[in-house]
Chains A and B, each alone.
Chain A
Amino acid sequence: MVIKSKVIWSAWAPGVSTKQEWEDWSHNLRGFDKNQKPDVSFIKPMVRRRLSLLAKMVFVTSYSLIDEDQEQLPLVFASRFGEMEKTVQLLTNLVNAEGLSPTSFGLSVHNSLVGMYGMINKWTESSTAIGAGNRSLTSGFIEAYSQSKSFQMPVLYFYYDEPLPEVYSRYDDESLPICFGMIVDAKNDSAEQILDVVKSEPELSPLNLIRLFITKDA
C-alpha cells in the first residue's frame, strides 16, 4: 500500500533525522548510528536539564515539524513503554528502601511528556497520552484522527519509544530509540489513506509507516 497524498511528518532516530536522510535510509544508503543524540540546544538550559532522551527526541522532531508561530493544536502522544528507565530507577530505590526522587516520579508517568510539551510551548489545547502495547503507534493515530474529525481541526501527533532497560529486555523488540511526528488532519485524503493502512495493519512499526511516505515522495 502507498500513501498518495501529501503528509506533514518528521522523524528522529539516531543518525537519521532529515527528510533526505530518511530517503537515503529507505534506499539502504544510510544506517542508524546509535552514538547520535538529539540536539536540543534551542531549549533553555534550566528547562533542558529535565528532558530525558524520549523528551529530547520529541522536541527535535517537533522543531523540524512545526513553525515557531504554529497556532495551538490538540496534542496526542503515544508510546509503548514510555519512561521505563525512570520507573526502573524508582522501583530500584523502593527495593533498597531509599527515598524516591520527586522529579523522577513526576516525569515517569505516561502523560508527563505531553504535559511538559504544553508547558514549554505554552500551549493550552487538550492533551492525550496513549499506551497500547505494540499497537501504540496505530492506536495513537486513530485517536488523533478521531479528535481531528470531532474537533474539526488538525491534531499534532507524536509517537516515541526507546529500547527497554536491561532488566526487562526479554520483553523488548524495539531495537532503537525513535520518534515520529505528524500533523493529522481528517480533512486531508492522506489521513483517510493512513487510517486504512493502520486498520489493516494494527501492529505497524514506525519504520514501516515512514517507508510508506517515502515511497510516495519518490
Chain B
Amino acid sequence: MTDLETKIKELIIESLDLEDMVADDIDTDEALFVDGLGLDSIDALELGLAVKNEFHVVLEASSEDTKKHFYSVATLANFIRNNK
C-alpha cells in the first residue's frame, strides 16, 4: 500500500465520521459505494469536497468519469496522481 492510498483511507474515515474504523479496514480495490464499504450519495459529495480540499484536484460533479474515479481507493489514488 502506498502513502497516497493510506492518506486517502484516513481522509475517508475522518471526513465521513467512520468512528470505529482504521485505514487497514478499507480494502484498496473494493467498491466504496453501495456494495463494499457501503457509502451513500451524501458521502460521495462529502468525500468530493474533502478530496478537493486535501489534494487540490478539480472534480466535475456530474461526469461519468468522476463516478469511475471514485469507485475505489485505488482508482481515486490513480486519479489524484494523474491530476496533481
- In the complex, the number of residue pairs spanning A and B with C-beta atoms less than 8 Å apart equals 25
Interface string of A181-203 (1 = CB under 8 A from B): 00000000000000000000000
- Give the B interface residue count (CB, 8 A): 13
The answer for the CA separation of A99 and B52 in the assembled complex, in Å, is 9
CB–CB A99/B49 < 8 A: yes
Interface magnitude class on chain A:
10 to 19
Given contacts A103-B42, A106-B42, contact A49 B17 (CB under 8 A): yes
The answer for the CA separation of A207 and B3 in the assembled complex, in Å, is 53
Chain A's closest residue to B42 (CB) is A103
Interface string of B15-50 (1 = CB under 8 A from A): 011111000000000000000001000110110010
List A contacts of B43 (CB < 8 A).
103
CB–CB A50/B17 < 8 A: yes
Chain A's closest residue to B37 (CB) is A46
List A contacts of B20 (CB < 8 A).
45
The answer for the CA separation of A49 and B16 in the assembled complex, in Å, is 8
List A contacts of B45 (CB < 8 A).
102-103
CB–CB A102/B17 < 8 A: no
- Most interface-central of A45, A48, A100, A103 (chain B CB within 10 A): A103
Does B53 sit at the interface, judged by CB under 8 A? yes
List A contacts of B53 (CB < 8 A).
98-99
CB–CB A46/B49 < 8 A: no
Given contacts A99-B49, A102-B49, contact A45 B19 (CB under 8 A): yes
Does A126 sit at the interface, judged by CB under 8 A? no
Does A152 sit at the interface, judged by CB under 8 A? no
B30 to chain A, nearest CB (A): 15
Q: Which residues in window 13-55 of A have CB below 8 A to B?
A: 45-46, 48-50
Chain A: residues with CB nearer than 8 A to chain B? 45-46, 48-50, 98-103, 106
Chain B: residues with CB nearer than 8 A to chain A? 16-20, 38, 42-43, 45-46, 49, 52-53
Cβ contacts A to B, 12 pairs, < 8 Å: A45-B19, A46-B38, A48-B19, A49-B16, A49-B17, A49-B19, A50-B17, A98-B53, A99-B49, A102-B46, A103-B42, A103-B45
